[in-house]
Amino acid sequence: MSNLMHSVQQHLSDDVIMQLSRQVGAQDPNQVKRAAFNCAELLLNAMARNANNQDRGSGLYGAIEKDHDGGILGNLMGILTGQQQVENKKTLNGEGIVGHLLGKQQLEAAQVISQASGLNFFKSGVLMQLIAPIVMGTVGQTKKSSGFDLGGLAKVLIGGAQQQQSQSGGGLGSVFGKLLDRDGDGSMMDDLLNIGMNMMKK
């Protein structure tokens, strides 16, 4: 996933970050850039967990194959500004992507990203939905060029997630891991916020 994360970051150019800042109503592009990278890492981790489950993995693979071939990445600015339209509306359905990958954990995920980046909680949630199609497009482009089947895609995602968490050394990647490992019962918001605040103090 480190390579996938790097690919996503390459698509998040300064111009794209400025456009995303306008769309979420943020004044500080650096905050938006940090939050965008955090969103991408979280979503890639969520995809790795989905890919490791036979049922959810098949659904993820099918969605990538049908709706996310990476075509939007060719003119990302045109799509973000509305100057270019896409034929398949599901390609840009960030709300649906985030809902599928995170389920009930969306609000907590937005809160963690907000705490880590400094971007407003609500703007972090909107940004996550804007970043989701870019992440899916990047993974779809990789799948298309490499010819991965579900097993191959899962291997890349899971191996990358483990490498990312190892590199984070208990940082934000570890927080995402704790969030995504939950079964949806109860709340660990306080724990996540404490971890996030401690990270920011370092």
How confident is the model over 19-38, as pLDDT tens digits?
A: 999 999 999 999 999 999 99
Structural domain count, the chain: 1
Distance CA 162, CA 181 (A): 14
Distance CA 70, CA 125 (A): 23
List CB contacts of 98: < 8 A, sequence separation 6 or more.
Answer: 43, 106, 128, 129, 132
- Evaluate whether 43 touches 179 at the Cβ level (below 8 Å): no
The interaxial angle of helices 121-146 and 29-51, nearest 10 deg, is 50
Distance CA 19, CA 17 (A): 5
What's the domain range around 113?
Answer: 2-201
List CB contacts of 148: < 8 A, sequence separation 6 or more.
Answer: 142, 156
> 3-class SS at 11?
helix
Instruction: Give the tokens for residue 80.
Output: 């973000």
Q: Which residue has the tokens 């979280």?
A: 42
Distance CA 152, CA 162 (A): 16
Q: Low-confidence residues of the chain, pLDDT below 50? A: 1, 169-170, 184-202
Q: Which residue pairs, CB below 8 angstroms and at least 24 apart, start in 86-93? A: 90/63, 90/66, 91/67, 91/133, 91/137, 92/133, 93/133
* Confidence at residue 54, expressed as pLDDT on a 0 to 100 scale: 75
- Any idea of the CA torsion for 51, 62, 136, 78, to the nearest 10 degrees? 180
What pTM was computed for the model? 0.81
* Confidence at residue 189, expressed as pLDDT on a 0 to 100 scale: 47
